[in-house]
Amino acid sequence: MLKAPSVFIIVFIAVSVMLILTMAIFISLIIFRYQQKQNAYFKDIEALKTSHQNILLQSQLEIQEQTFQNISREIHDNIGQKLTLAKLYMNTLDFTDTQKAKLQVNDSVNIICEAIAELSDLSRSMSSEIILNYGLIKALEFETEQLAGSGIYIINFSATGNPVFMDIDTELLVFRMVQEALNNIVKHAAAAVIDINLHYTGNLLTVLVNDDGKGFNSSEAGHGAGLQNIKKRATILKGNVAISSTPGSGTKIKIEIPL
Amino acid sequence: MKLHGFIVILGSVIIAMSFITALFFAHKTKPAYYRYIFFFIILGLLLSVNTISSNNYTWRYGLKFRIFIEQLLVFLQYIMFGQFFSNLRKNSVFLKKVKWIFLLSIPILFVLIIAVHLENIEVRPSLVPNLVQLIFCFFYLKDVLNNKPTVVLVQSSAFWLVMGIFFSSCISFPVISLMPFISKNETIANLRFQIFSIQNMSLIIMYLFIIKSYVCLKHPQYS
């Protein structure tokens, strides 16, 4: 039993309750304000995510469209032309002149063989099977060997650091970026030596593609579709691309991809 | 039993409960600042023992020595709180402010304890810790409300700890500041005890908040 006068106990309880209530209101207000801020923050993050996803989707569509255009151009400009020529030879066969006919048939067979080889190259370059089976480094080795086989280029390929297997989609996108860079060199650079280096550090893959070609002014705004595709693919992988080139001194492409 | 005696006993029980809770969560992974909170609770237990013993027994060392022990324990508790706040929000401007104020306040508090002990003046040294803790709590709340709201506040152990300290300091600071102006006259002696009881009640609530913060460790959020 408490010995304090009852009025004191009542005052004590009243003051205590009042203070606790005040504190409760204060804490509730802070939590309410904080949650309001948190809701707004999460909304912003959601909006950013949606916007980023839209950009990625658009990039993917653009890359897909570009790839279709490349296939279409390849078929129309090279394979189509060769098959048309073969068809022309076959249509103009003169069976009375067997010697000439034999030559025409031989030429047609050669042209069709070339067309088949080009179709095969195109199919191989579009296929992701090599990545699936051997991984990025081996796939790039095949690719560079193929290009070096033409005898036009000296290609130095190296992989340094601590190579790791990334997921198949990432490896495929990196492979496509290097392919795109090599396509650019073949089409525009007139280079003799190409250096390709893949460097793996703890959490970063750095891809360097250098050539000694004619270069271009990289400070000028706007790049070709090939370089744009490389940048878009890097964006998809949350990486970044740095292109440095000056006319007459080759081109350096540095791609950084977080692992 | 008198009201203030009852509150002291109740407070001791709550501190013991917070100590048991701290032991219960001893092996749980938790932020580094919890080690200071643990020592703070132990010091709180010692303070309770000191208060209860002086209320119930005639101690041969006398009242002056008991008050000195009490102030020493309050001083150590303040060091623990300072360390707690210094480790609370790393990588923020909060830390810089806290460290400087904390370092400046320690000599002031020390001088005040010695002065009170030697001169027997009415000012209470715990005025300094309470004021500084209030400032720290304001900094913390400002920091929490101005930064990215990434944690769930109601499940944040740091938030409940700070709220407990804030509540206790909010009540203790005016009580301790006004105490020298309340007469020691017998007729209103009860008023002093009532006010002290309210201050003790605020400490009880602080320890309840400490228990709550330990319970929050079930859903750890490092902020």
Q: What is the 3-state secondary structure (H, E, C) of chain A?
A: CCCCCHHHHHHHHHHHHHHHHHHHHHHHHHHHHHHHHHHHHHHHHHHHHHHHHHHHHHHHHHHHHHHHHHHHHHHHHHHHHHHHHHHHHHHCCCCCCHHHHHHHHHHHHHHHHHHHHHHHHHHHHHCCHHHHHHHHHHHHHHHHHHHHCCCCCEEEEEEEECCCCCCHHHHHHHHHHHHHHHHHHHHHHCCCEEEEEEEEECCEEEEEEEECCCCCCCCCCCCCHHHHHHHHHHHHCCCEEEEEECCCCCEEEEEEEEC
Q: State how far residue B119 is from chain A, nearest Cα, in angstroms.
A: 33
**Using one digit for the tens of pLDDT, what is the confidence trace for B83-141?**
888 888 766 666 777 788 888 888 988 888 888 777 767 777 888 889 998 988 888 88
| Mean residue pLDDT across chain B | 82
User: What average pLDDT does chain A have?
Assistant: 84
**pLDDT at res. B183:** 64
Alpha carbon distance, N-terminus to C-terminus of chain A: 70
What percent of chain A is predicted at pLDDT more than 70? Answer: 95
Interface of B with A in 159-198 (CB under 8 A): 163, 167, 170-171, 190, 193-194, 197-198
Query: Which positions in chain A touch B202 (Cβ < 8 Å)?
Result: 19
* Residue whose entry in the numeric block shows the structure tokens 């804490």: A27
**Looking up tokens 């008050």, which residue turns up?**
B67
Ramachandran angles phi, psi of A92, nearest 5°: -100, 20
Closest residue of B to A27, CA-based?
A: B163
CA B60, CA B146: separation in Å to the nearest integer? 54
Distance CA A117, CA B180 (A): 101
Interface test with B, best of A6, A8, A28, A44 (most B CBs within 10 A): A8
Cα A244–A246–A251 angle (5° rounding)? 50
pLDDT confidence of residue B188: 58
Residues 6+ apart with CB under 8 A from B33: B83, B84, B87, B88, B158
Q: Which residue of A has its CA nearest to B138?
A: A30
- State the smallest CA–CA distance between residue B3 and chain A in angstroms: 6
* pLDDT of B164 over the 60 cut: yes
Contact B42, A47 (CB under 8 A): no
Interchain pair B3, A33: CB under 8 A: no
pLDDT average, residue stretch B59-75? 77
Put simply, the answer to whether B201 touches A37 (Cβ < 8 Å) is no
In this prediction, residue B39 carries a pLDDT of 92
Q: Exposed, middle or buried, A233 (CB in 10 Å: 0-12/13-18/19+)?
A: buried
CA dihedral A178, A173, A58, A44 (to 10 degrees): -120
Mean pLDDT of B2-19: 86
pTM of the model: 0.64
Size of interface A-B (CB pairs under 8 A): 56
Which is nearest to B50 in space by CA: B19, B35, B72, B82?
Answer: B72
Integer Cα distance of B27 and B46 in angstroms: 23
CB contacts of A5 in chain B (<8 Å) are: 190
What single string gives the DSSP state of each residue in B125-156? Answer: TTHHHHHHHHHHHHHHHHHHHHS---S-GGG-
Contact A3 B2 (CB under 8 A): yes
| A122-143 average pLDDT score | 81
The residue-averaged pLDDT of A85-100 equals 85
Cβ distance of A4 and B163 shorter than 8 Å: no
Predicted-complex ipTM score: 0.76
Question: Would you call A7 an interface residue with chain B, using a CB distance cutoff of 8 Å?
Answer: no
Residue with structure tokens 């492409």? A253
Mean pLDDT of B159-184: 84
With beta carbons under 8 A apart, name residues in chain B contacting A11: 194
**Cβ–Cβ below 8 Å for A12 and B170:** no
Q: How far apart are the C-alpha atoms of B89 and B32, rounded to whole Å?
A: 11
Question: Which pLDDT value is given to residue A44?
Answer: 92
CA torsion B196-B200-B203-B204 (nearest 10°) is -160
- pLDDT for position A222: 60
Rank A32-46, B87-101, B176-190 by mean pLDDT and report only the highest: A32-46
Query: Chain B partners of A6 at a C-beta cutoff of 8 Å?
Result: none
pLDDT at A31 over 70: yes
Helix (H, G, I), strand (E, B) or coil at B32: coil
Chain B interface mutation, best of A29, A38, A39, highest count of B Cβ atoms under 10 Å? A38
**Chain B environment of A41 (Cβ under 8 Å):** 148-150
What is the mean pLDDT of the segment spanning B53-79? Answer: 76
Range with the largest mean pLDDT of A103-117, B25-39, B49-63, B80-94? A103-117
pLDDT tens digit sequence for A191-243? 889 999 999 987 889 999 999 888 888 776 566 777 887 888 888 888 888 98
Phi, psi of B217 (to 5 degrees): -65, -10
Residues of B in contact with A23 (CB under 8 A): 163, 167, 170, 205
Measured between CA atoms, how close is B47 to chain A, in angstroms? 22
- Residue A1 banded pLDDT, cuts 50, 70, 90: very low
Which amino acid, A111? I
Q: Which positions ≥6 away from A179 have C-beta within 8 Å? A: A125, A143
Region of A151 on the Ramachandran plot (φ > 0 left; ψ -120 to 50 alpha; else beta): left
pLDDT at B222 over 70: no
Contact B167 A12 (CB under 8 A): no
Q: Pick from A3, A6, A16, A39 the residue to mutate for testing the B interface (most B CBs within 10 Å).
A: A16
Q: Which of residues 128-157 of B touch A (CB under 8 A)?
A: 141, 144-145, 148-150, 153-154
Determine which of B1, B2, B3, B172 to mutate to test the interface with A (most A C-beta atoms within 10 Å). B3
